[in-house]
Amino acid sequence: MTAPSPDAPAIRELLGSLLDAGIAAAHPSKCLVGHLPPPVPGRLIILGAGKAGGSMAAMASRFYRQEHGVPEERILGLAVARHGYGEDAPGIRMVEAGHPVPDAAGIEATKEALRIASLAGPDDEVLVLLSGGGSANWIAPAGNLTLEEKQGITKALLRSGAPINEINCVRKHLSRIKGGRLAVAAKNARRILTLAISDVPHDDPSVIASGPTVPDPSTLAEALAICERRGIPLPDSARALLTDPGNETPKAGDPTFARAEYRIVARPIDALEAAAAAAQAAGYEPVMLGSDLEGEAREVAAEHARLAREAKAAARKVALISGGELTVTIRGEGDGGPNQEYALALALALDGEEGIAGIAADTDGTDGGRGKATDPAGGLIDSTTLARAREKGLDPAAMLVDNDSTRFFATIGDLVQPGPTRTNVNDCRIILVG
């Protein structure tokens, strides 16, 4: 039997604590309240969406009702979060909906959000609370596109390995709320203030939750080209939308955005810096590899394994820390997600190298999966990972080819499963060397 090294439990506990430090730094309880504006004379219309939509709405509800005494009749709101991520927010209706594939609950909630936004008058402020996941939670197919057709397109894009900016470009041009269209609905408001937790590389507001309150720089032609390049089957209803000039999203300079403001309250780098500070306190030299990495999970893992080996050869005690949003081009029949695939590929690339351990997880608490709040967030590896897997009859290389990382880590007991974190600043990957 292969036994973990004597310090393995301590290293595993440390890796988990570093991840926890990163997640805590991006929770709305830490990052939101300082950005909430004082109450306005009219009504406050609060609309939230995404994996942090429930927790952000709850913080806002407490802020205005308890700290400012705003009466119930002056607060009107609705928040949508993925299933299992809702949170009690008095005065604000809470809806749980599908993610990453949208569902009927999301459609009904989105219709209501658009209706509420259209009620805003010149004395009312519209407060939009956004986080990653909002693209799936706010779902309003345009034209004659059906929910089933939209689900099919979303699934095909996810399987194609398309990066999030491409996926959202297509989503925006098939929607009645994305790509600035929520701002159009609320155009009569005194102000539209969006407070967002970023989960995207480079913190682009037009990409976070598909930019419902900002001008859209992408075009119909780009959306159509993405679908053609990725081989995405398009029903006639979707093709009609992507070839109709009248369906173009609002652009910069549109008067709709004259009273719209946008602030990012938490970024991926905030979580990584918190993890880095905790690593430094534990005696490791933090080495930041970037907060906005993109690319195939297994290819990035191979490069990070190389960096870890170099650090070990130089006798450095370091924590290699990275974020961003990696992708997986699905060719196999297994289950998994980018962080689990990264962790499995990292273990294979390190091939049992002593003195190196790592964790990779999505800060929202789920990594790929089937849309359940109990889905795993990632995986943890050390020098014994491959040996323990083979003792259980697993073939790690074959499982990577089959995109079967969830079963791999579940079998050896190394899935990372924090449950709903109610925030989302994308991936957090930490490799400890030495």
Whether the per-residue pLDDT at 381 is higher than 50: the answer is yes
pLDDT of residue 372: 83
Q: What share of the chain is helix, strand, coil (3-state, %, to 5)?
A: 45, 20, 40
pLDDT band for position 201 (cuts 50, 70, 90) = confident
Neighbours of 373 (CB within 10 A): 18
Mean pLDDT of 41-48: 95
Tokens of 297: 């999970």
pLDDT of residue 1: 35
The string of pLDDT tens digits covering residues 325-347 is 899 988 999 999 999 999 999 99
Whether the per-residue pLDDT at 298 is higher than 50: the answer is yes
pLDDT of residue 7: 59
pLDDT of residue 165: 86
pLDDT of residue 9: 81
The string of pLDDT tens digits covering residues 208-252 is 999 999 999 999 999 999 999 999 999 999 999 999 999 999 999
Sheet arrangement for strand 356-362: 285-293, 318-324, 427-433, 356-362, 378-381, 415-416
Rounded to two decimals, what is the model's pTM? 0.89
pLDDT band for position 285 (cuts 50, 70, 90) = very high
The string of pLDDT tens digits covering residues 118-142 is 999 999 999 999 999 999 999 999 9
Whether the per-residue pLDDT at 2 is higher than 60: the answer is no
